[in-house]
C-alpha cells in the first residue's frame, strides 16, 4: 500500500504560477501581508502533519470504526491524539476571524491545506471541516455574546462543531423538519426532536461539541420559510465560560455505512436541550447559505483530495507490478515482464485520473479566489461580481469534483486488478469514502438543480456571461502561446457549446417546467468539463515561465493535451442529451416503471 | 429495504417475444423438446428459491462474512442449508451433460436462471457458477475416467468446483505462473505452489471441492505455451468413488475485501497435492478458453442481476419517499410532499437503470442464443458462424454488462440520498458487490483488449461484419413498425459509427502498435451501446404482438425511447476519442507521471 505524499509541487505551481497568488493577495485588504514564503511554510507544515499524523490513521480507522456505547462515542485509536496535535498546530483557525484568534488566511491557501487534510484521512478531516463550517455561520450571524463565548474555543478546536439539519423523514426538503424550539423566556430556547446523519455529532476528541440545529419556532410559518438556526452546546458553558452542565441531548446510535467508517454518523436526540437563536427567527436557511458556499467547495475538495490519494496508490502499483509486455516490444527484457505503465490502457486510466485531479485542483483554487475577492475586496462592484461567480461555480465545485473523484477512484482500483478489491491495498477504501461526497451537503442532483434553476434559468443566463467574460479575457490576454488546434479550438468550441446549451435550456424552460430538472445533471457535467478545459488552458499557459523541473513541465503538457483530446469531447454528448429535452424522461406513469 | 422480486415478466417477454425461444429451441437437435411451458415451470421454481431462500441470505451474509479458522472455512449462517436446497432442486445440473445426470437445458434458459440466482445473492451464486465452469472444462477436455468419477457428483452439487489460476505475482499474465506439477509415475501428478483469489476454494457447503489448477510441467516451454490444467480434489476419491484421503492442499487464509463478503476468497497452498491432467499437456490455457466464453457471459449476467436488484430497491424507495413537489405543481396535495418519482432527475436515474438493465437482459439472451447454436446446431456452417459471434460478443457481454451494472448500482444508491450510503438499506452493498464483476474473470480492460486485438484487428474486422449482417437482416425483416426518426435512424447511425471507428482502428494499427490498446475500452464501450441499441430495437419491434399488459408495453416503449434519446448519443464521444489515437496516451515517460 502506497504512502500518501502531500502533492506540494503541484499545489505550489497552481498557487504561484497559475493563480499568481503573491500578487493576488497583495491586492486585497486584510490579506495583503500574506506572502508566498509564509504560505509555503504553512503548506510544508500542513504536509508534515498530513503525511505523518493523519495518513497513518486512515486505514486503521476504517477497519476499527467509531464506537458507540450507551450514548458515548469513542473515535478510533489515535484520533483523539491526532486531533490534539491538529489543534495545537492552530490548523482549526487557519481561515478564521483574527478578532477571535483565527489566522485570517485566504481561502486560496486554506483550500490547499484542506485538500491535504481530507486526502490523507477524510474521516478525521470531517471533524475540523464541520467545526470550520459552524464557525463561519456563527461569525456571520450570531450575536456578539455568543461569538465571545464560543468562537475562540472553536477556532482552537478545544470545542468542536456539528451541523444538525437532516431528520428521518427529510433531507433535501428541509421545509418538512419537525424539531421544535420553544422559548424559555430568558432568551434561550428548549429544543426537542431527532436529527440523523450528524457527522461527528458526538465523540471524545474535544471537551465540548457545539451543534448548529435547524428547528421550528412555535409560530413558524410552514415550509422552508419557517426554519430557524440554533446553537445548542453539548455542555452548557458555566459562569467562567468553561464546560458546565450537560445539556439534555444525546447520541442515540451511530450508523453502519459504506465508507468514512472512522467518523461517527450520529442520530442526535434533543430532549428540551437549551439553545440560542443564531441570526433572525425563520431565517435559518439563509444563515446556512452563508456557510454553504464554503462547505460545498470543501466537499468538492474532499473528493479531489481522496482521489489524489487514489492516484498515488495506482501509480505506485503500476510502476512496481510487472505483467505482460509493451506492445512495441519488451521494455525491460532482463525481467520476466514489463511494468504496467507500458500498457496503453493502464496509461489511459492513470492519465484520466491525473487530468481530472489536477484540473480539479486548479478549479477549486479558482473558486477559492472568487471567495477571497468576495470576502476581502473593498470595491463593492468587484465584491458583487465575485459573489455572483461564487454562486455560479459552487454547485459545480461540489458535484463535478466529487463525480470526477469517484471516476478517479474506480479507475485507481481497476489499475490494481484483483488487488484493488482487497482491503489491505487501500484502493477500495477510497471508492467507499469518496462515494459519500456525491451525496452529502446536498446530493449532486440537488447541486445540478441549483445550478440550472436558481443560477441559470432564474438568472436568465446572466451569471454564465460572467464566466464567459472571464474565459474571453484570459483568451485575449494570456493564451497567445497555446496550441490553436489542440487547445484553443477545443476550448472555444466547448465554451460555445455550453452557451448554446444554456440557450436551449432557457428556451425549453419557457414552456416546460420539467425541462430544467431533466437537463440538470447533464448541464452541470458539461459546465464542469468546460471549466476544467479553461483550467487546463490556464495551466498550460503558465508553464513556460514556471520555475519547475522539465519533467514536471513535460508531464503537465502531456496531461493537458490528453484532457483536450480524450476527455473534453464528452461535452458533445451532453449537448445532445440536453437538446433531447424532458419528453422521454417524463413520459412514463408511476405504474410503468 | 426492498425485497428482491424475480423479474419473471420481463424474462418471459425477452425469451418468448424478443427471441421466440419456442421456435428457436425446436430448431436445434438436443433441445428440440424443450417447450415454453417447461421453461416457464423452471423459471417459476427458480424464482421461488431465489426470492425465498437466497435473497434473505444476501445482507446477513455480507455482514457476517465467511470464517477462516486454521484452514477450515465456514460459510455464513444459512449458506450450507441453502446450498443443500439448491442442489436438491437439481439447479447445479440445469445446463449439464445429460449423460452424467445434467438436464441439458439451453443456455438461453439457463442464463435467465443465472440472472435470478446471482441477482438475489451473488456471494452464494458464485459457488454454483464456479462448479458449472469446472464441469464445462471437464466435460469438454477430461478423460472418460475423470468424467465418470467426478462429473455426476459435481452436477448434483455433492462436490463443488473451484478454478485456480491467479498467483501472487501474476493474474492477467498467466505465462508467469510458478505452480509446478511433477509426474508421480502412475499417471497422476504432484502439485506444488500457491494460488490466490480462489473463490470458494474452501468451504463447508459441499463434502468435496474439485480444483481446476493451472500449473507447469517440469519440461514445459516458457510463458503461456507451457501451462497445463489439472484436476486436484480436496479429498481423493476412494475405491468406491466416495470421499477418501485428504489431499495435501489447504486454505492459508481468506481475503478481507470490498464486497462479495459472504463468499470466501482463498489463498490455496498445494504441497505436493495429487492431481490429474485435464486435456493435453501445455494446452491448459486452451482448455480454459472452452469455459471462458460461458464464464465471462456469466459474470456479465451477475453484474446485471445485481443491478436489477439495485433498481428494485431504488424504485421502491422513490415511490415511498415523499420529498419536495413536482415542478408542474403538487401531485399529492393531501400529503406534505410528493414522492420522488415526480422529480425529473430521479426519473433520469431510474430510467437509465431500467434501460441498461433491460437492454442487458436482452443482450445476454442474444449471446446465449449464439452459444446454443454453437453447441446444438448440426449444421457445420451455422455452428462456425455462431462460434464467431460468440467470440466477438463475449468480451462485450462481460465488460459492458458489468460497467453498466456499476453505473446502475451507483445511481440506485444516489436515488436514496444519504440512506443509500447506510448499510441497512442494502443499496451500498450492491455497489460493493458489483465492483468485482468488472475485475475478475479478466478485467474489463483485458476484455477490451481481447475484443479489439484478437477479435477485431487480428480478424481484420471480419467478425464485426457478421454482427452488422445480423443487424441488417433484422432491419430489413422486422423493423418496419419502428419509428424512423426516434429509433431506426439513431440505430443505423450508431452502427455506421461503429463501422467507421473499426476502420479507423484498423488503419491506426497498421503502423502504431499502441493504437489498439489506447482505443480498446472506448471501442468496447461503443460496441456495447450499439449492441444495446440493437436490442432495444428488437424489444420495441416485439411489443405489438406480445401478450403483455398495456402498462408493460407503455413502460417498455418509453424506456426504449429514453435509451435512444439520452444514452445512445454516448457513441459520438467514443468515436471522437478513438479517432484521437494513441499519441496523447503514450507521450509521457515514466518519471513524468
Instruction: Tally DSSP H helices, then E strands, for chain A.
Output: 19, 11
**HSE value, Cβ hemisphere, 13 Å, CA-based, for A462:** 7
Considering only CB atoms, B517 lies closest to which of A345, A580, A592, namely A345
- Chain B CA closest to residue A565: B580
Report, as an integer, the average pLDDT of B509-524: 98
A529 part of contact set with chain B, CB < 8 Å: no
On average, the pLDDT of chain B sits at: 97
Of all residues in chain A, the percent with pLDDT exceeding 70 is: 100
| Contact between residue A535 and residue A486 where contact means Cβ atoms under 8 Å apart | no
Of all residues in chain B, the percent with pLDDT exceeding 70 is: 100
Q: CA B322 to CA B313: how far, in whole Å?
A: 16
- Chain A CA closest to residue B448: A345
Instruction: Answer positive or negative: Cα dihedral of B419, B423, B426, B430.
Output: positive
B554 part of contact set with chain A, CB < 8 Å: yes
Count of CB atoms within 10 A of residue A402's CB?
Answer: 30
Considering only CB atoms, A418 lies closest to which of B197, B431, B590, namely B197
Instruction: Note whether B586 contacts A344, CB cutoff 8 Å.
Output: yes
Min Cα separation A102/chain B (Å):
33
Q: CA A191 to CA A248: how far, in whole Å?
A: 9
Report, as an integer, the average pLDDT of A62-91: 98
A488 in a structural domain: yes
B347 part of contact set with chain A, CB < 8 Å: yes
Report, as an integer, the average pLDDT of A381-400: 97
The pLDDT, as a whole number, for residue B292 is: 84
Contacting residues of A for B454, CB less than 8 Å apart: none
B552 in a structural domain: yes
Q: What is the pLDDT of residues A559-583, one digit of tens each?
A: 999 999 999 999 999 999 999 999 9
Q: Which residue is it, cell 471516476?
A: A407
B contact residues 68-127, partner A, Cβ 8 Å cutoff: none
Contacting residues of A for B315, CB less than 8 Å apart: 593
On average, the pLDDT of chain A sits at: 97
Considering only CB atoms, B570 lies closest to which of A513, A573, A585, namely A573
Q: Which of A529, A322, A534, A525 is nearest to A438 (CA)?
A: A525
B318 in a structural domain: no
Count of CB atoms within 10 A of residue A386's CB?
Answer: 21
Which one from A115, A167, A358, A441 is the annotated catalytic residue? A441
B520 in a structural domain: yes
Q: CA A48 to CA A486: how far, in whole Å?
A: 39
**HSE value, Cβ hemisphere, 13 Å, CA-based, for A119:** 31
A510 part of contact set with chain B, CB < 8 Å: no
Structure confidence at residue A291 as a pLDDT band (50, 70, 90): confident
Min Cα separation B121/chain A (Å):
18
Instruction: Note whether A435 contacts B443, CB cutoff 8 Å.
Output: no
- Chain B CA closest to residue A178: B336
- Chain A CA closest to residue B453: A327
The pLDDT, as a whole number, for residue B1 is: 72
Torsion angles phi and psi, residue A270, rounded to 5: -110, 120
Report whether pLDDT(B288) > 90: no
Domain count, chain A: 1
The secondary element (H helix, E strand) that includes residue A194 is: strand A189-199
Of all residues in chain A, the percent with pLDDT exceeding 90 is: 98
Q: What is the pLDDT of residues A246-260, one digit of tens each?
A: 999 999 999 999 999
Report whether pLDDT(A324) > 90: yes
Q: pTM of the prediction? A: 0.98
Considering only CB atoms, A319 lies closest to which of B584, B590, B592, namely B590
The pLDDT, as a whole number, for residue A22 is: 97
Structure confidence at residue B150 as a pLDDT band (50, 70, 90): very high
The pLDDT, as a whole number, for residue A293 is: 86
A contact residues 354-393, partner B, Cβ 8 Å cutoff: 354
Report, as an integer, the average pLDDT of B351-372: 98
Torsion angles phi and psi, residue B183, rounded to 5: -60, 135
Question: Do the strands B208-215 and B189-199 form a parallel or antiparallel pair, or are they unpaired?
Answer: unpaired
**Sequence-distant (≥ 6) Cβ neighbours of residue B373 within 8 angstroms:** B28, B382, B383, B385, B386
Tell me the β-bridge partners of B339. Answer: B322
Report, as an integer, the average pLDDT of A327-352: 97
Report, as an integer, the average pLDDT of B483-496: 98
The pLDDT, as a whole number, for residue A467 is: 98
B577 in a structural domain: yes
| Contact between residue A57 and residue A124 where contact means Cβ atoms under 8 Å apart | yes
CA terminus-to-terminus distance, chain A:
44
Contacting residues of A for B323, CB less than 8 Å apart: 170-173, 176
| Contact between residue A331 and residue A322 where contact means Cβ atoms under 8 Å apart | no
A24 in a structural domain: no
* CA–CA distances in Å: residue B165 to residues A137, B169, B173, B272, B586: 57, 11, 10, 17, 31
Torsion angles phi and psi, residue B177, rounded to 5: -60, 150
Q: What is the pLDDT of residues B166-180, one digit of tens each?
A: 999 999 999 999 999
- Chain A CA closest to residue B403: A410
Grid cell of A97 as nine digits = 476571524
The pLDDT, as a whole number, for residue B256 is: 98
The pLDDT, as a whole number, for residue A517 is: 98
Q: Which of A490, A482, A463 is nearest to A544 (CA)?
A: A482
Contacting residues of A for B514, CB less than 8 Å apart: 327-328, 344
The interface predicted TM-score of the complex, written ipTM, equals 0.97
Residues of B labelled as active-site residues: 441
Structure confidence at residue B540 as a pLDDT band (50, 70, 90): very high
Q: Which of B155, B164, B298 is nearest to B229 (CA)?
A: B164
Range of the domain at A576: 446-586
Considering only CB atoms, A576 lies closest to which of B518, B520, B572, namely B572
Q: What is the pLDDT of residues A300-316, one digit of tens each?
A: 999 999 999 999 999 99
A152 in a structural domain: no
A556 in a structural domain: yes
Amino acid at each position: 500500500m502506497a504512502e500518501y505524499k502531500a502533492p506540494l509541487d503541484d499545489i505550489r505551481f497552481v498557487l504561484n504560477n497559475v493563480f499568481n497568488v503573491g500578487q493576488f493577495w497583495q491586492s486585497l485588504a486584510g490579506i495583503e501581508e500574506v506572502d508566498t514564503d509564509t504560505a509555503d511554510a504553512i503548506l510544508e507544515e500542513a504536509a508534515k502533519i498530513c503525511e505523518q499524523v493523519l495518513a497513518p490513521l486512515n486505514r486503521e480507522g476504517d477497519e476499527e470504526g467509531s464506537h458507540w456505547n450507551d450514548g458515548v462515542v469513542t473515535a478510533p485509536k489515535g484520533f483523539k491524539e491526532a486531533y490534539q496535535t491538529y489543534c495545537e498546530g492552530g490548523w482549526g483557525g487557519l481561515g478564521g476571524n483574527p478578532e477571535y484568534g483565527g489566522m485570517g488566511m485566504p481561502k486560496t491557501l486554506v483550500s490547499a491545506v484542506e485538500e491535504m487534510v481530507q486526502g490523507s484521512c477524510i474521516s478525521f478531516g470531517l471533524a475540523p471541516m464541520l467545526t470550520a463550517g459552524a464557525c463561519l455561520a456563527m461569525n456571520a450571524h450570531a450575536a456578539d455574546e455568543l461569538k465571545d463565548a464560543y468562537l475562540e474555543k472553536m477556532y482552537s478546536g478545544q470545542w468542536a462543531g456539528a451541523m444538525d439539519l437532516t431528520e428521518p423523514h427529510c433531507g433535501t426538503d428541509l421545509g418538512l423538519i419537525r424539531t421544535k424550539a420553544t422559548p424559555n423566556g430568558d432568551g434561550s430556547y428548549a429544543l426537542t426532536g431527532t436529527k440523523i446523519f450528524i457527522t461527528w455529532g458526538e465523540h471524545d476528541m474535544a471537551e465540548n461539541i457545539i451543534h448548529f440545529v435547524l428547528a421550528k419556532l412555535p409560530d413558524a410559518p410552514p415550509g422552508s420559510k419557517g426554519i430557524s438556526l440554533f446553537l445548542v452546546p453539548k455542555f452548557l458553558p458555566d459562569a467562567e465560560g468553561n464546560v458546565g452542565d450537560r445539556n439534555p441531548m444525546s447520541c442515540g446510535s451511530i450508523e453502519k455505512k459504506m465508507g468514512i467508517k472512522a467518523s461517527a454518523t450520529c442520530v442526535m436526540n434533543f430532549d428540551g436541550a437549551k439553545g440560542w437563536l443564531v441570526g433572525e427567527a425563520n431565517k435559518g436557511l439563509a444563515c446556512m447559505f452563508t456557510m454553504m458556499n464554503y462547505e460545498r467547495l470543501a466537499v468538492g475538495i474532499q473528493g479531489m483530495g481522496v482521489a489524489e490519494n487514489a492516484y498515488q496508490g495506482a501509480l505506485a502499483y503500476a510502476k512496481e507490478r510487472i505483467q505482460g509486455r509493451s506492445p512495441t516490444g519488451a521494455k525491460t527484457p532482463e525481467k520476466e515482464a514489463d511494468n504496467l505503465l507500458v500498457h496503453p490502457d493502464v496509461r489511459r486510466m492513470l492519465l484520466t485520473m491525473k487530468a481530472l485531479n489536477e484540473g480539479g485542483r486548479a478549479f477549486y483554487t479558482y473558486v477559492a479566489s472568487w471567495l477571497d475577492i468576495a470576502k476581502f475586496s473593498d470595491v463593492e462592484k468587484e465584491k458583487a461580481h465575485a459573489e455572483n461567480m461564487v454562486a455560479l461555480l459552487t454547485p459545480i465545485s461540489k458535484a463535478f469534483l466529487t463525480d470526477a473523484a469517484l471516476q478517479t477512484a474506480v479507475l485507481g482500483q481497476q489499475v490494481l486488478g484483483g488487488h484493488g478489491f482487497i482491503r489491505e491495498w487501500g484502493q477500495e477504501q477510497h471508492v467507499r469514502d469518496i462515494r459519500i461526497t456525491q451525496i452529502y451537503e446536498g446530493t449532486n442532483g440537488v447541486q445540478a438543480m441549483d445550478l440550472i434553476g436558481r443560477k441559470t434559468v432564474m438568472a436568465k443566463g446572466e451569471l454564465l456571461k460572467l464566466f464567459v467574460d472571464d474565459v474571453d479575457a484570459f483568451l485575449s490576454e494570456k493564451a497567445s502561446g497555446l496550441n490553436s488546434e489542440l487547445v484553443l479550438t477545443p476550448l472555444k468550441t466547448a465554451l460555445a457549446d455550453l452557451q448554446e446549451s444554456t440557450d436551449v435550456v432557457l428556451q425549453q424552460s419557457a414552456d416546460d417546467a420539467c425541462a430544467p430538472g431533466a437537463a440538470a445533471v447533464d448541464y452541470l457535467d458539461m459546465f464542469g468539463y468546460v471549466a476544467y478545459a479553461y483550467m487546463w488552458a490556464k495551466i498550460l499557459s503558465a508553464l513556460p515561465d514556471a520555475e519547475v523541473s522539465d519533467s514536471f513541465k513535460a508531464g503537465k503538457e502531456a496531461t493537458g493535451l490528453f484532457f483536450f483530446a480524450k476527455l473534453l469531447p464528452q461535452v458533445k454528448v451532453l449537448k445532445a442529451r440536453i437538446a433531447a429535452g424532458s419528453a422521454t424522461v417524463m413520459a412514463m406513469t408511476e405504474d410503468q416503471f
